[in-house]
Amino acid sequence: MRTPTLTPTMTLALTLALTLAITITITITMGLGCQSKVSDTDVFQEKPSVNVSTVTAVASNENSARALYAVAMRVYRVEVIDLSTREVRATLDEKTVERIKSSIVLNGLDTSLTVTSPPWDVVLHLHIPGRAPFIAHPVGLDRLRLRSDVPENSAVPSIDEGFDLVAGEVTIDFEVSDVLHQLLGEPSKEYLMEDSDRRDMIRYLETE
Amino acid sequence: MSDHAVVKVIDERGKDMEPVLVILRNQAAFHQFFSVADQGLSLDLGSVKPGTYELVIALANRPQLPFSVAVVAKRGAAKSITFKGMVPRCCTLTRQSAFAGTASSRTLHVFTFSLARSHHEVIMVSGWTFKGQKNFMAYVNTWRNDLYNGSTWISGERKPIAQEVFDHTVVTAFNAETGLRTRQIKGRTGWHTMDTVLQGTVPTHTGSTKHESSNRRRHDEDSLSIVHIYAYITDLGAVAPGSLHRFDVFSHAWMGGPILINTVEDPEFKGNGARSAERDPGDKDGRTKDFNSLNMPGISASNFRRAFASGASARIWGCFATKDYRHLIQAAAHATDPNSLMTVKLEDNRVLNTTGRRIEKYFRNRVLSDTYMAELAKVAQIQVFGAPPGLGSNVSRVGRRFYLYVDQKVFALEYRWYSDTIGIDPDDAGYILFS
């Protein structure tokens, strides 16, 4: 039987592949570790920075949620973009970004789409080194929707047009929407209570 | 030689049922069938102009049943009558020719309808999505087919369910995007459209929700409203008591009820307004207050209730994504001692001091009993299902079938709290019973 020999090119390719595999392993391990470090109080202690400027980066959703899931741990900045003015409303603080990253890795891709309409007319630009930012719509209570067909359209994709559900949304921590609420104000009515119901709730829960 | 349309109606045992009236009508003409010896209820087609018509059958204790037909001119003076679109499974159309010389030879076009002794109907509603995507009709159609097939793929795999749509069942769909009410009955392939009727005087205005003028127009115009649906049910209760077996609403929804068009009430009809208990006449969406004595007084409430069959059910398929409810459930679920004080951060950043026990009582005594679903259950005396308070619905696709459901994996913590603390468990699709 002939013993295989490695050419210099094959050796280089093997070394690169091994390095990449080790990097991915470390990244995922770090990602899982980050989840336990983030607590509710951390998120609320540090307010997101508000930085209104015009969007300059060309965003892309090629392969949508599937692609984001694969590289989630490399997200280094998340901007909140106002869909009507095209301005950067805010840049999320580091702890919220970590929370988004780790929850995407932990929760993975979702095989369904959220019915509830988006709470705000904004998108998140998730920046990754060496690629255009992903465009994600916060939807429902804890999802990010990524449309590869029309990235800036927040609507549930028309299901009769063969949309790939598996590539549509990722689940993030529920508390991220609280951070966005602090930044953007009240969400749409589907998420809210009527004032009279809210007063009744508070009275009941604090005194009953 | 003459052509005659003949209508016969039999029940599920093959016994004759006597129609009160049978007519052929369109916007320009009206032809009544009369009883002819040895022939039954008949209409000589000689006087009927070719064109499309409704063949309307009126039987006691049920609404008039229109079927879409077309009268076609044949060679010479001969005429034929056929179904327009899909042929209903509940009808057999045969042609019988008798030759007895030119003057007395005739062809009988015999419609034999096989209907149940009692009227049987289900109502489905498709909301307008108002954020750019298409309406909810795909979910209506999937569920309609599942109810006919007696099986569903809603959980991802095929499971049997009770068959609730039969060959004779009228499936009425209200489409909030178009403003149309369409009645269908199962066809030999697909579905036979019986009639399509605009609700109100204009179709729903579907201009962007970002423009206040469009929102105002939706409110002010006489287009489809949930009130049209209540009126339809009430009328059904008056003529065919106990005939409505299901009422399904596929739309966005919130704690206030199903959102058909996403109209906003005028201030005087809102929570603290002078007329807050009344429905805003311009409002098109469902509201929890719809079933109070002001909005559904005496006779209409009783006919509304009378429409539903014993054992009937309703389902509001949209979300109940009130964030504060989810905050409360999560806090209560994490509490180690249900009687210890804890803080819960609310949507408006207020911090609430409460206990797990109080949250449990609040859900039992206020939240679950003061919902659109619970109020509908009370007035209609039926089982009503909906998303658990605090949780949102999702869209799923199984092959070419489209479903709304509540994800029990994503909301595992909340479902566990509902089960352990309140004693409520969801069905396969994640919805809970409110009645």
What is the full DSSP assignment across A111-149?
SSEE-SPPSSSEEEEEEETTEEEEEEEEETTTEEE--SS
In chain B, what residues touch A160 (CB-CB under 8 Å)?
A: 134, 138, 402
Interface test with B, best of A205, A206, A208 (most B CBs within 10 A): A205
Six-digit token string for B354: 């409460």
Tokens of B221: 């115009």
With a pLDDT cut of 70, the percent of chain B lying above it is 98
Q: Does A185 contact B at CB distance below 8 Å?
A: no
A154 interaction partners in chain B (CB closer than 8 Å):
131-132
CA distance B355 to chain A (A): 8
What value does the mean pLDDT take over residues B276-284? 97
| Average pLDDT of the residues in B330-350 | 92
Higher pLDDT, B27 or A141: B27
List pLDDT tens digits, range B352-387. Answer: 999 999 999 999 999 999 999 999 999 999 999 999
> What one-letter code names the amino acid at B62?
R
What tokens were used for B363?
């859900």
Chain A contact present for B407, CB below 8 A: yes
Residues of A in contact with B345 (CB under 8 A): 44, 178
Measured in whole angstroms, the distance separating CA B172 from the mean position of its chain's CA atoms is: 6
Report ipTM for this prediction. Answer: 0.80
Window 48-67 of B, Cβ < 8 Å to A: none
Q: Please, which residues bridge with residue B97 across strands?
A: B107
B391 to chain A: nearest residue by CA?
A: A141
**Within an 8 Å CB–CB cutoff, is residue B20 touching chain A?**
no
Residue B57 or A191, more confident: B57
**Distance separating alpha carbons of residues B388 and B321, to the nearest angstrom:** 9
**Per-residue model confidence (pLDDT) at position A40:** 29
Q: Which residues of B touch A205 (CB under 8 A)?
A: 328, 344, 352, 354, 358-359, 362
A192 chain-B contacts, CB cut-off 8 A: 254, 322-323, 347
Q: What is the pLDDT of residue B397?
A: 83
B394, B154 contact by CB (below 8 A): no
DSSP notation for B295-348: TS-HHHHHHHHHHEEEEEEEEE-S----HHHHHHHHHHHH-SSTTS-EEEE-TT
Q: Print pLDDT tens along chain A (208 aa).
A: 344 455 555 555 555 554 444 433 333 333 322 222 222 222 233 334 444 455 545 566 666 788 888 899 999 999 999 988 889 999 999 999 999 999 999 888 877 788 888 899 899 999 999 888 999 999 888 888 887 777 777 777 665 555 555 557 888 888 888 888 888 888 888 898 888 888 899 999 998 6
CA-to-CA distance for B49 and B345, rounded, in angstroms? 72
Collapsing DSSP states into helix, strand and coil, what is residue A197? helix
Nearest-by-Cβ selection for B395 from A115, A171, A190: A115
- What one-character DSSP code corresponds to residue B402? E
Predicted TM-score (pTM) of this structure: 0.87
The answer to whether B142 and B100 are in contact (CB under 8 A) is: no
- CB of A101 closer than 8 Å to CB of A94: no
**Confidence at B114, pLDDT banded by 50, 70, 90:** very high
What is the length of chain A?
Answer: 208
Which of B273, B100, B93, B296 minimizes the C-alpha distance to B187?
Answer: B93
Q: Looking at the DSSP assignment, which residues form a beta bridge with residue A82?
A: A122
CB contact under 8 Å between B366 and A142, yes or no, is no
User: What sign for the dihedral angle of Cα A173, B409, B387, A143?
Assistant: positive
